[in-house]
A and B are shown apart, each in its own frame.
Chain A
Amino acid sequence: MSFPLLSIVVFLPAAGGLLLLLLRKENEGEARALSFLISLVTFVASLPLFFGFDNSSAALQFAETRPWVPALGIQYKIGVDGISLMLILLTTFLTPIAILSAWKAVEDRVKAYYAALLFLETGMLGVFVAMDLVLFYVFWEAMLIPMYLLIGIWGGPRRIYAAMKFFVYTMVGSLFMFLAILYLYMAVPAHTFDVEVLARTLSNAETRLAFGAQMALFLAFGLSFAIKVPMWPLHTWLPDAHVEAPTAGSVILAGVLLKMGTYGFLRFAIPFFPEASRAAMPVISILAVVGILYGALMAMAQEDIKKLIAYSSVSHLGYVMLGIFAFNAHGIQGGLYQMLNHGLSTGALFLLVGAIYERTHTRDVNAYGGFAKLVPVYAVCLMIVTLSSIGLPGLNGFVGEFLILAGAFKADKLYAVLATGGVVLGAVYMLGLYQKMMLGPLRGAAASAAAGAPAPAHGAEVAAATPGAEPAAGAHAAPIADLTARELCYLVPVIAMCFVLGLFPNLFLRTMDASVQLLLSRL
């Protein structure tokens, strides 16, 4: 075993989190700087994973195997393959950005906030690299705690409800998965939690499980992942969690956490239970299509910007599921690619919403209007991200959606046609949002701010009568400034990545090829 690069990438943030907790309470600036530094170092440390990755191999790379609890057959086994590589990089890329975005927004218990973000990063990375079922489960569950605290402590007015809902929904799924993991251990003659061995054994026609057992276990695993995706109708925790979470929490939640469910299907549920997956394909495809359309329609009806984006996530993740369950190379690659796109675009959307919220203290669409005149740079950023989100060619969203729809057409035309309808709806709600916020005459908070006078009665009414609007004395009176240097610092890399992924898709798609082929061969 050579240099344990992967372990360092995974545990560096947690080590930093512990270090932060040792700092004195008063050193808020140092806590911010330290956490940013650590997440940045983690990102840099994760780059060799990408550049040193062998695209032609489907085998586990940068793998480390050590006994952990040998008496119970549990190993510490981690590694990277084409399915997890880009998700790991997405995580290490978005965390420093999320940390930077929270620079001003969080003033209460700063140290703990950043520590929670760093612990969360370790948890997420652990989920993507774990190649032992128990190790995976440990990370999967442990990750809940920091996210729960992020929502529950630093969230909005209904944060406790949202945090509890988030926790309980996830626990319902994962405890059944826990039982299934233990059952799987017993059911396989090799008696192992090793993911590679299990995938090989269980996809082999001679050694796979009986169909009934496959179906039961697929349901147990699938329920847990479907909640996390979230698939319609298990999505109801998401709008609550998004609306109440602080900006950095939303970015991480949308950017990375929502990928765990789809990752789980690709890594565990599909290769372990191939026959059950095939049998479940029509049902999951229908649910995915319903999710696409339902999410889009709900997004159109929202007045709270964060809620709108949350429902758009339900729609986007529907595409990912549809692509994965097309069971062909295009669909699965498209699904994987769309996971990255969604992480970037939606992450960027939440960053932008957070930035404007810090100025206006409202997330109500009606309180905006004509902001493009006030904040031109912001408007340009929002335009790019909006176009990326609706899949304009040249930007990242297009590649993913195109591959998914191509894959879905090959699998079943009906679903593909319906899903295409979702693309149209996506353009409607996203452009509608842009229009309401940025174009037209100055309205609401902006009008009063532009006038430099206390808010007129109309604006105040709108702000007070709508959800998500917090009465913030004096907030309206301050002129609304354009993006600051710090904000550009974290927005520009994300937007740049949107272009890179849109213009040079092959750079990333080729890392996935071998692993996707291996997965397909197991189906």
Chain B
Amino acid sequence: MPDIGSAELRVLLPVLAPLLGALAVLLTDPYLDKGRPKLPLVYIALGSLMAAWAALGFLWGDRVVAWSGALAADRFGLYLGFAIATAAGLTVLSSAGYARKMGVDCGEYYSLLLLATAGMLLLAMANDLLMVFLGIETMSIAVYCLAGITRERPRSVEAAMKYFLLGAFATGFLLYGIALIYGATGEVRLERIAHHAANRPLLLAGLGFLLVGFGFKVGAVPFHMWAPDAYEGAPAAVTGFMAAGVKAAGFAAFLRVLLTAFGGEAAAAAWAPALWMLAALSMIVGTLSALAQTNLKRMLAWSSVAHTGYALVGVVGGGGVAGNGSAAVLFYVLTYSVMTLGPFLVIALLSRAGEEFEQIDDLAGLARRRPVAAAALSLFLLSLAGIPPTAGFMGKLFVFRAAIDSGWLGLGVIGILATLVSVYYYLRPIVLMYMREPRAEFNASEPTDWASHFAIGVAALALLLLGVLPSDAIAASLESVRGLW
């Protein structure tokens, strides 16, 4: 056990903040009136997330490695840490009204959200394989519970069950991979694994298992089976958090493991073809499946599979640390986490007590009744389709540029074709909202949910800013990857 110096504590701050927040929520909950809105819990959750944000900002700078090298507070981890903390914060804001409508306005809900956030932040900073595992499990178990938190809805329970069973299976793969790698090298620390020759069968087998485990967490085809059901069944606010946070944290760890432990040329030659397949399949299967959906959440689930594919294009086209594909992935995942969270915030806003607003056809005429919600949803969808001047376009530009620069023209062509098809299903809701007359009734009579509107506004503004003035975020992503060593 090393001395617990200031570096150790500092590095842990972003994780500690939501962790303590979760405890505070649980301790406060029993003292609150049952019948009234539990606003204090929301304040605690928001406060702890803001503290996490501040801690991330405070750590932004030089690379600090602590806890015997198990945790690394470097720009690489912090970059997506910001995305995670932001996504969590927006989710909490939207939950203030949504959780009440769904009857889950309880301490457990907020504490699980914060626990999951702590796990995600841990994962983003994990610098050895055991810490990766710890982060993934903390995050996953909390998210399994969240997916099933609306206990009365059978679909929610089904989603949680499916997610849990398949997730546990994937964790097994991950752990097995870690074991094999440890067996081959005697190391769990990422940069030390890199010193071992990558051509040993045992190590390669370990890498293979790791790819399966991570592939599952980020929802890449063929390890995506859980995504549509889990996304559809889980309550909307949770789904958005899942889609944004889990993917951001998953990609952070995935990329760090690949670049640090297996960044050498020999190792990269082993994983690049495999990831090429995953990327191509994810884009194709995700896009084609999304075409056929009538449920908005399910459509977004398949779209998130396709977006995993786009991000993987950047991983394949990374060209190691020297190339800027890895930076492209960071930027892409950052923009993706905002633009995928957005639609779920809107769904959460439009949902009525105990009833999710999730059929695409119900969107008909939304622009007349809820102009702000319709405009924001359109912006999110246009960004997902990669149409400028939104962030989605800049993300795609960065990723595809990296892929083509490193000679992966084939992936670029597949990506472009997938984007083309995707335009159809992203535009359909816009057609319904703006060009058809209302069919369903919208809960316009309810008092305005300002917190939710605020969250949606922040997400929309962020997408426009990242689309029009992306320079700083892109420069930071490049620095983040350079700072990995």
A contacts, CB < 8 Å to B: 67-72, 134, 137-138, 141-142, 144-145, 149, 152-153, 159-160, 163-164, 167-168, 171-172, 175-176, 178-179, 182-183, 185-186
Contact = CB atoms under 8 A, between A and B. Distances in A.
Rank and list the top 3 A-B pairs by shortest CB-CB distance, nearest first.
A138-B388, A152-B435, A182-B404
Contact of B435 (A137, A142, A160): A160
Interface string B450-485: 000000000000000000001100110010000000
Contacts of A70: 471, 475
Given A137-B388, A171-B423, A183-B404, A69 B435 contact: no
Contact of B471 (A68, A138, A153): A68
B471 A67 contact: yes
A167 B478 contact: no
27 contacts: A68-B471, A69-B471, A69-B474, A71-B324, A71-B471, A71-B474, A72-B397, A72-B401, A138-B389, A141-B388, A145-B387, A152-B431, A152-B435, A153-B434, A159-B435, A160-B435, A164-B431, A167-B427, A172-B420, A175-B416, A175-B419, A179-B400, A179-B413, A182-B397, A182-B401, A182-B404, A183-B409
A388 B474 CA distance: 52
Contact of A149 (B389, B397, B434): B434
B236 interface: no
Nearest to B424: A168
A111 to B, nearest CB: 10
Contacts of A69: 394, 470-471, 474
Interface string B365-408: 00000000000000000100001110001100110110011000
Interface centre among A159, A171, A176 (most CB of B within 10 A): A171
A164 B405 CA distance: 33
B97 interface: no
B416 A178 contact: yes
A160 B397 CA distance: 29
B412 interface: yes
A299 B474 CA distance: 51
Contacts of B470: 69
Nearest to B387: A141
Interface centre among B409, B427, B435, B478 (most CB of A within 10 A): B435
Contacts of B436: 160
A108 to B, nearest CB: 10
B435 A141 contact: no
Contacts of A144: 387
Contacts of B389: 138, 142
A172 to B, nearest CB: 6
A71 B476 CA distance: 10
Given A137-B388, A142-B389, A163 B435 contact: yes
Given A69-B470, A72-B398, A164-B427, A176 B404 contact: no
A260 to B, nearest CB: 15
Interface of B: 324, 382, 387-389, 393-394, 397-398, 400-401, 404-405, 409, 412-413, 416, 419-420, 423-424, 427, 431, 434-436, 470-471, 474-475, 478
Given A70-B475, A179-B412, 17 more contacts: A72-B401, A137-B388, A141-B387, A152-B431, A152-B435, A153-B435, A159-B435, A163-B431, A167-B427, A171-B420, A172-B420, A175-B419, A175-B420, A178-B416, A182-B404, A183-B409, A186-B405
A179 B418 CA distance: 13
B395 to A, nearest CB: 11
Nearest to A155: B435
A179 B404 CA distance: 9
Nearest to B479: A71
Contacts of B412: 179, 182
Nearest to A167: B427
B423 A167 contact: yes
Contacts of A182: 397, 400-401, 404, 412
Contacts of B434: 149, 152-153
Contact of B416 (A163, A164, A176): A176
A140 to B, nearest CB: 9
B404 A186 contact: yes
A333 B400 CA distance: 38
Nearest to B428: A164
B260 to A, nearest CB: 22
B328 to A, nearest CB: 9
A417 B397 CA distance: 46
Contacts of A164: 427, 431
Contacts of B409: 183
A234 B420 CA distance: 17
Contacts of B388: 137-138, 141-142
Contacts of B431: 152, 160, 163-164
A78 to B, nearest CB: 15
Nearest to A152: B435
A69 B409 CA distance: 23
Nearest to A138: B388
Nearest to A70: B471
A153 B432 CA distance: 10
Nearest to B382: A145
A72 B478 CA distance: 10
Contact of A134 (B324, B397, B420, B423): B397
B401 A142 contact: no
Nearest to B324: A71
A244 B409 CA distance: 39
A507 to B, nearest CB: 36
A413 B69 CA distance: 78
B423 A168 contact: yes
Contacts of B393: 138, 141
Contacts of A159: 435
Contacts of B471: 67-71
B113 to A, nearest CB: 34
Given A145-B382, A152-B431, A163-B435, A71 B475 contact: yes
